[in-house]
Amino acid sequence: MSTDELRHNWDISEVQALFDQPFNDLLFQAQSIHRAHFDANSIQISTLLSIKTGRCSEDCGYCSQSAHHNTDLEVEALLPLDEVVKAAKKAKAEGADRFCMGAAWSRPNKRDFPQVLAMIKAIKSLDMESCVTLGMLDKEQVAQLKEAGLDYYNHNLDTSPEFYGNVISTRTFQDRLDTLNHVQQAGINVCSGGILGMGEERKDRCSLLVQLANMKQHPDSVPINMLVQVEGTPLFGADEIEPLEFIRTVAVARIMMPCSVVRLSAGREEMSDEMQAMCFFAGANSVFYGERLLTTEGASAQADQKLFANLGISTSLEKKSGHAEKASVSRTELSA
């Protein structure tokens, strides 16, 4: 399937039929499509950096950084430029070629936005790719990010439009779509996915994937997060998603968006090696790497190295088109 043949007209019933297949049949289909577009034994490595932590005005029910929730999170102001550059240089020395920054904002403010633009330019001067997640954007802000040289923008849809109101009330689903449209129209790569295990049903997971796959251009990266429950947030105590259902979702995402990088994101520290291996077989080919994912614990780097070695996985993502995406660093918040 060439990029010209990618589908953008999925309906819910088709996606439900994919989910309803016998597990082995679904994984075989996903793995076959995965191998047609990527080296099945290579993945992209991603790392997180928070440049501004806590006191976000949004009320996302999963997020420890929301000012609406009492999570005892230590609030941090926007990091100084020199600290960000220092962190980027360290990441590059460890083999990263993409550095991504995230701020706990509903949208960038006029006071701090120029500093973020300076950070992007500084990252580019290090011969690294840049990525940010800053909340909602208008066309003018997107144009400024493009001019600064931004490579990737992360903004998750989180869940289906039908279930969205059960999780967030301070911004609409359409607000998220508008930001993604602005980013794509400017020619900036999009990273957008969702969170599983927030009390949604399978029909909501189907609807989320339809929203992503029916975009005019599929997201370049599709992070699939498993809810990390944080005490003090409304979703603390929610029923956890079954591991096989999570793996099914990864597989269906791979089938629907065959050329996108499917990122195994938050919640990986709670997955067994066997579950992660099944996710890779289902088509996941990117992970978060490091002991910290913003405000929650991440997977151990040492454990990851052992897992990759046991599975024979290379950390240089190979695409069948003939070019390679090197092991990279990016930053994606659950709320993104």
Cβ contact 283:42 at 8 Å: no
Contact in structure between 106 and 135 (CB atoms under 8 Å): yes
Cα–Cα distance measured from residue 336 to residue 334, given in angstroms and rounded to the nearest whole number: 5
206 annotated active-site: no
Catalytic residue among 7, 35, 63, 205: 63
CB 157 within 8 A of CB 176: yes
Question: Which two three-digit tokens encode residue 135?
Answer: 């909340």
> Do 100 and 133 meet the contact criterion of CB atoms below 8 Å apart?
yes
Name the token pair of 277: 């291996």
Token pair in block for residue 121: 């330019």
Q: Which of 171, 191, 254, 331 is catalytic?
A: 191
Q: What single DSSP character describes residue 80?
A: P
H-type helices in the chain, by residue range?
12-19, 23-37, 81-93, 113-125, 139-148, 173-185, 202-213, 243-256, 273-282, 301-311
Q: Looking at 100, 176, 248, 279, which residue is catalytic?
A: 100
Which residue of the set 205, 248, 254, 263 is catalytic?
A: 263
> Does the active-site annotation cover 60?
yes
Which is the catalytic residue, given 98, 131, 176, 205? 131
Q: Look up residue 322 and give its DSSP letter.
A: S
* Phi-psi domain of 148 (left: phi exceeds 0; alpha: psi -120 through 50; beta: other): alpha
259 is catalytic: no
Give the residue numbers annotated as catalytic, written as ranges: 56, 60, 63, 100, 131, 191, 263
